[in-house]
């Protein structure tokens, strides 16, 4: 549980809730490594950040140029009918949804990357109180830092659900008591999970959505890694909605998708939120006040990307190749396992911070201590302290050589 107290030095005129947030993971890493000189005469390899490095497809550039005459126009916050249709078409194909299940104009909104939508959602979904108590936002632990920022700044209690090896790297839904569910306003779920790479199966998603309906909260499923998978395409929460059925089959559900990973286009800042039409309508209303809307050329390019699968398949092949290389370099060590989705390794190196320092000093390799992605438990224990997160985003050869070096340094 977070308390609303600012850090020393935070002006009382500022939003004191900011003080309840841990520093963002990357400045923490910079601080950790600030006194450590990296190995000289070697090009540093930054594996701390999940920034795709594959060149985005040529059709992105082409679509931006074809639509360059639209840069002068203010874009509608709800995007264009063409963008929404492209998204609805992709969702329907990807998750085998029946015709008409996704009503493009009522159930889809563009986002400038999922990040802004995931943040803004807490402003929308957290009421003043729930059942007479302070509302809670449930967050898997470890987690994408934005979930916590969103929850705390919206005035909710952030409640962290361990997503560790013993729970299959996903939150254990049975470990949450009814009293907690009853005051839950919002539950962020990430599948494939960052950093652990675990994928929620359809039964899990159905159960999470049933709980959302029973206890009246919003289930926000962050599926931004959905297209980077190893053996099988991860199921989506919209499939769970289809399976559960009902008058409004997407009731209580929002899913978030992005072109940042799928198309290697993080700089385009393009994603979308889709699901419950009532929530989408309210989201659009809030977005009108809060955000700027995606530029029209970017929306046109995004629509072209959502309609193309060839570049996504190639992207996936390249990530799989890197995971093969990682398995060859590390298999059997540091608790290595092939992530079912996403492009991170979650390695047990004994002490994440020590390993990060050692790898920087002796190998010019930058990795992120797992503890920086994880809230300590009330007992003070941080169960990710032994871990580091390693992003497999460089070319396969670099990944292979760097991981071999990493294994030697940590041996
Ligand atoms: C779990 C998760 N969600 C959301 C995002 C945001 O991605 P974007 O805003 O580029 O769509 C990231 C980015 O790294 C992420 O790891």
CA of 160 to the centre of ligand 1 (A): 19
Gap between the Cα atoms of 263 and 318, Å rounded? 12
**Ordered DSSP codes for 298-340:** HHHHHHHHHT--HHHHHHHHHHHHHHHHHHHHHTTSTT----S
Please indicate whether residue 113, judged by its CB atom, sits closer than 6 Å to ligand 1: yes
Please indicate whether residue 194, judged by its CB atom, sits closer than 6 Å to ligand 1: yes
Examine the pLDDT at 1 and tell me if it is beyond 60. Answer: no
Which backbone phi and psi does 133 adopt, to 5 degrees? -125, 170
Query: Whose CA is closest to atom 8 on ligand 1?
Result: 113
Q: Is 22 exposed, middle or buried (0-12, 13-18, 19+ CB in 10 A)?
A: middle
Q: What is the pLDDT of residues 288-305, one digit of tens each?
A: 998 889 999 999 999 999
Please indicate whether residue 264, judged by its CB atom, sits closer than 6 Å to ligand 1: no
Query: Whose CA is closest to atom 2 on ligand 1?
Result: 144
pLDDT of residue 9: 64
**Ordered DSSP codes for 35-86:** T-PPPTTS--EE-SS----SPPPHHHHHHHHHTGGGTTSPPPTT--HHHHHH
Contact 389, 370 (CB under 8 A): yes
Strand partners, 366: 46
pLDDT of residue 6: 44
Q: How many CB atoms lie within 10 A of CB 118?
A: 24
From the CA atom positions of the chain, what is the Rg in Å?
A: 21
Q: What is the pLDDT of residues 31-89, one digit of tens each?
A: 999 999 999 999 999 999 999 888 889 999 999 999 999 999 999 999 999 999 999 99
Structure tokens at 320: 């799989």
User: pLDDT band for position 7 (50/70/90)?
Assistant: low
Examine the pLDDT at 388 and tell me if it is beyond 50. Answer: yes
- What would the mean pLDDT of 293-322 be, rounded to a whole number? 97
- What would the mean pLDDT of 260-269 be, rounded to a whole number? 96
Report the residue among 53, 87, 110, 114 best suited for mutation to probe ligand 1: largest number of ligand atoms under 8 A from its CB: 114
Gap between the Cα atoms of 317 and 1, Å rounded? 41
Task: State the virtual CA torsion across 208, 212, 218, 222 in degrees, nearest 10.
Answer: 10
Q: What is the pLDDT of residues 121-135, one digit of tens each?
A: 999 999 999 989 999
For the chain, helix, strand, coil in percent to 5 are: 45, 15, 40
- Enumerate the H helices of 126-201 as residue ranges: 145-153, 178-182
Query: Whose CA is closest to atom 6 on ligand 1?
Result: 115
The closest alpha carbon to 201, from 334, 338, 340, belongs to 340
Residue 116 Cα: closest atom of ligand 1: 9
Q: Is 5 exposed, middle or buried (0-12, 13-18, 19+ CB in 10 A)?
A: exposed
| Average pLDDT along the chain | 95
What angle do helix axes 114-125 and 145-153 make, rounded to 10 degrees?
Answer: 30
Residue 258 Cα: closest atom of ligand 1: 11
pLDDT of residue 228: 98
pLDDT of residue 96: 98
Q: How many CB atoms lie within 10 A of CB 169?
A: 23
Residue 112 Cα: closest atom of ligand 1: 9
pLDDT of residue 59: 96
Examine the pLDDT at 4 and tell me if it is beyond 60. Answer: no
Contact partners, residue 188, CB within 8 Å, separation at least 6: 118, 137, 138, 139, 140, 143, 144, 147, 151, 220, 222
Report the residue among 258, 268, 372, 374 best suited for mutation to probe ligand 1: largest number of ligand atoms under 8 A from its CB: 258
Residue 266 Cα: closest atom of ligand 1: 10
Task: State the virtual CA torsion across 211, 216, 219, 220 in degrees, nearest 10.
Answer: -170
Gap between the Cα atoms of 55 and 393, Å rounded? 11
pLDDT of residue 20: 86
CA of 106 to the centre of ligand 1 (A): 24
With a threshold of 0.85, does the pTM exceed it? yes
Please indicate whether residue 114, judged by its CB atom, sits closer than 6 Å to ligand 1: yes
Which backbone phi and psi does 100 adopt, to 5 degrees? 85, -10
Q: For a pLDDT cut of 70, what percent of the chain falls above it?
A: 98
CA distances from 28 to 32, 34, 232, 322, 370 (A): 6, 10, 35, 27, 12
pLDDT of residue 112: 96
């Amino acid at each position: 549980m977070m308390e609303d107290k600012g850090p020393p030095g935070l002006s009382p005129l500022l939003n004191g809730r900011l003080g309840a947030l841990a520093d963002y993971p990357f400045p923490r890493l910079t601080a950790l490594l600030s006194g450590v000189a990296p190995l000289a005469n070697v090009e540093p390899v930054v594996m701390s950040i999940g920034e795709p490095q594959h060149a985005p497809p040529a059709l992105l550039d082409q679509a931006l140029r074809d639509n360059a005459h639209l840069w002068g126009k203010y874009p509608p916050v709800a995007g264009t009918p063409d963008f929404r249709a492209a998204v609805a078409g992709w969702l329907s194909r990807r998750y085998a949804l029946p015709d008409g299940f996704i009503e493009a104009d009522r159930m889809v909104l563009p986002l400038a990357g999922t990040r802004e939508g995931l943040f803004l959602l807490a402003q929308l979904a957290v009421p003043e109180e729930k059942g007479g108590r302070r509302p809670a936002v449930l967050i898997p632990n470890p987690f994408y830092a934005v979930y916590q920022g969103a929850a705390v700044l919206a005035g909710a209690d952030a409640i962290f659900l361990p997503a560790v090896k013993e729970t299959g790297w996903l939150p254990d839904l049975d470990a949450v008591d009814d009293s907690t569910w009853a005051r839950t306003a919002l539950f962020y779920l990430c599948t494939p999970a960052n950093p652990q790479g675990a994928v929620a199966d359809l039964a899990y998603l159905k159960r999470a959505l049933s709980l959302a309906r029973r206890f009246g909260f919003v289930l926000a499923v962050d599926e931004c890694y959905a297209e980077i998978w190893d053996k099988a395409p991860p199921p989506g929460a919209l499939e769970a909605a289809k399976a559960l059925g009902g008058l409004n089959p997407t009731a209580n559900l929002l899913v978030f998708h992005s072109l940042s990973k799928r198309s290697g286009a993080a700089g385009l800042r393009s994603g979308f939120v889709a699901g419950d039409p009532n929530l989408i309508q309210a989201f659009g209303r809030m977005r009108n006040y809060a955000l700027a809307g995606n530029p029209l050329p970017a929306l046109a390019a995004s629509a072209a990307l959502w309609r193309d699968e060839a570049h996504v398949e190639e992207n996936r092949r390249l990530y799989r190749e890197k995971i093969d290389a990682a398995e060859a370099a590390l298999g059997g060590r540091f608790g290595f396992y092939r992530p079912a989705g996403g492009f991170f390794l979650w390695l047990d190196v004994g002490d994440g911070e020590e390993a990060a320092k050692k790898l920087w000093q002796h190998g010019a390799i930058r990795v992120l201590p797992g503890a920086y992605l994880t809230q300590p438990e009330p007992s003070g224990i941080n169960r990710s302290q032994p871990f580091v997160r390693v992003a497999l985003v460089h070319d396969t050869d670099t990944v292979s050589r760097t991981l071999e070096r990493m294994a030697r340094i940590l041996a």
